[in-house]
Amino acid sequence: MDMNRRNVLKGAALTAVGAVGATTLVACAPTASSDKQDEVLSATGGDQYNTAATAQRPWAFEVAPDPIPADQIAETIEADVVVVGCGTSGLMAANSAAEEGLDAIIVSASTKPTSRGGSNNAVYCKAFEAQGYPCVPIDQYQKEIFCQAHKVDQRKWYLHHNNSEEAMNWACDLMEKADYGIDTEIGTPDKEDSLYPQRTAAVGWNLNGQTPPEDGLEVVTGKMQPLFVWELARHLTDDLGGRIFYRNIAEQLIREDDNTGRVTAVICKREDGSYAQYVGHKAIVLATGDFSGDRDMMRRYCPETADYVKDDVCDSEPDWDQGFKYGGICKG
Ligand SMILES: Cc1cc2nc3c(=O)[nH]c(=O)nc-3n(C[C@H](O)[C@H](O)[C@H](O)COP(=O)(O)OP(=O)(O)OC[C@H]3O[C@@H](n4cnc5c(N)ncnc54)[C@H](O)[C@@H]3O)c2cc1C
């Protein structure tokens, strides 16, 4: 029997789907098949840990949702690249695409550009060079990976090693052109016999006497990403012709070839309850941050840390504008 969204809403999965259904971004993947509809995994239904038995069953979020009816889609907006999420990653992706001459747009649940972190790390950059601070050696990355018991996605770490100097120099140029000051945060070197003999270093920015782009914006050492994301958003829209659609919560992805091909569009819910469809002719980029607020996804992908997420992160709607804060926020 085909397992569709309506069937899944029976039984154990009900609570979990209800809790996350409003915000979880689900691809219209091919419909899963099973002759036992109730055998859908759900953390709130008692499936706390992955086992050999549970590995045979799909998680609720892996089952395709019923499509949003076409007559509920009030507007269709097209671009070359559609980026979902207006945090640092989404803004960098959209700026990069727009600088390559593509028509890039961002759709975001937030009401403004958002940033979660403080300092801006790179393997090396012109700001470090000006301070006489050395390039982070490759064995430092290997030590970091070792400290994470080799569980990290090593390709990403080496992407950082290979590309972060170019990216940070681009960022320094952007901020200098906007007349902001550049700061470096240089930590204290660890002892010679430590796993971390290297000092860590990061780049930050100061207002250089300018008015903050947002009322009350705090620009202090260790919390300097907000200034950067505001400038990224300004550069995208004012200098590169990109567009940002805030207050758009992405709910479903559209795939071509009867739900087997590439993702071509994303459907977002807007403040007035209507839906808008954003078509990306070349790419849809998901940059929606963490998924700590979805218990099932945490059980599936991060079982070793799922127990540490506080209940209110999963049981409440995220603050889409949330800045610096420990603990999870988003729902994937
Ligand atoms: C307390 C803390 C301190 C940190 N300190 C540092 C640091 O010093 N240096 C450092 O390099 N990194 C630091 N980090 C990590 C860094 O901040 C994050 O890795 C980075 O912010 C992730 O950026 P992102 O764009 O991927 O996600 P986010 O910044 O989380 O952005 C996600 C965006 O997507 C939007 N969104 C989410 N779901 C949807 C949806 N369904 N539809 C539409 N939009 C959606 C959100 O509103 C948001 O705008 C820190 C993180 C935390 C939490």
How many A from CA of 328 to the centre of ligand 1?
A: 10
In ligand 1, the atom with minimum distance to the C-alpha of 325 is: 1
**What's the average model confidence in pLDDT over 252-281?**
95
- Per CATH, is 67-115+229-288 categorized as 3.40.50.2300? no
Residue 34: the pLDDT is: 42
> Is any atom of ligand 1 closer than 6 Å to the C-beta of 110?
yes
When mean pLDDT is compared over 23-27, 185-189, 215-219, 226-230, the highest value belongs to 226-230
Q: Judge whether residue 38 has pLDDT over 90.
A: no
Residue 241: the pLDDT is: 98
Residue 132: the pLDDT is: 87
When mean pLDDT is compared over 40-49, 60-69, 210-219, 281-290, the highest value belongs to 281-290
Q: Judge whether residue 26 has pLDDT over 60.
A: no
In tens, the pLDDT along 95-118 reads 999 999 999 999 999 999 999 888
Residue 169: the pLDDT is: 97
| DSSP letter, residue 276 | E
Q: Judge whether residue 185 has pLDDT over 90.
A: no
Task: Identify the residue with better confidence: 25 or 172.
Answer: 172
CA distance 66 to 271: 21
**What's the average model confidence in pLDDT over 259-281?**
96
Q: Judge whether residue 303 has pLDDT over 90.
A: no
In tens, the pLDDT along 195-230 reads 666 667 889 889 999 999 999 888 887 788 899 999
> Is any atom of ligand 1 closer than 6 Å to the C-beta of 319?
no
> Is any atom of ligand 1 closer than 6 Å to the C-beta of 94?
no
Residues 6+ apart with CB under 8 A from 276: 73, 74, 75, 76, 77, 107, 245, 248, 267, 268, 270
CA distance 89 to 287: 6
Residue 263: the pLDDT is: 97
**Residues carrying CATH 3.50.50.60, the chain:** 67-115+229-288
How many A from CA of 143 to the centre of ligand 1?
A: 25
When mean pLDDT is compared over 44-58, 99-113, 131-145, the highest value belongs to 99-113
Best mutation site among 86, 89, 288 for ligand 1 pocket (most ligand atoms within 8 Å of CB):
288
CA distance 40 to 3: 10
> Residue 244 pairs with which residues in a beta bridge?
106
CA distance 271 to 248: 7
Residue 23: the pLDDT is: 44
Task: Identify the residue with better confidence: 22 or 323.
Answer: 323
Residue 319: the pLDDT is: 95
Asked whether 56 and 92 are in contact (CB, 8 A), the reply is: no
% of the chain with per-residue pLDDT over 70: 87
Q: Judge whether residue 165 has pLDDT over 90.
A: yes
Residue 25: the pLDDT is: 57
